[in-house]
Amino acid sequence: MDIDVFYEKIGKRVKQLREQRHLKQDGLAEKSGISHDFLGKIEVNINRPELKTIFKLSKGLEVGPFELLKFDDLEVYKCNPDN
């Protein structure tokens, strides 16, 4: 699995957790201290969140940062960072 798929899964996971908490993008963006536009682009895999942003999002979602990296597909953990 390449790094693009890994970031795509992060975006989908953020959206999934946001929707489970009945938050709109602007609500999570405000709670996380990031812009609404940036959050939207993370969710659709246009922007790649840095580690600092992952921590901000986890705080806004009230979960640990590793919860954002918890995927159903174990193949994602075999990603190649050089792709």
Tell me the CATH number for domain 3-78.
1.10.260.40
- Tell me the average pLDDT across 40-58: 96
Residue 81 has a pLDDT of 57
User: CB-based contacts of 31: which residues, under 8 Å, 6+ apart?
Assistant: 23, 59, 60, 61
- The residue extents of the domains of the chain are 3-78
Looking at residues 3-21, what average pLDDT do you find? Answer: 94
pTM: predicted TM-score of the whole model, two decimal places: 0.84
80 - beta bridge partners?
A: 2
Split at pLDDT 50, 70, 90, the class of 70 is confident
Q: Is 21 left (phi over 0), alpha (psi -120 to 50) or beta?
A: alpha
**Contacts of 50-56 spanning 24+ positions with Cβ under 8 A:** 54/10, 56/32
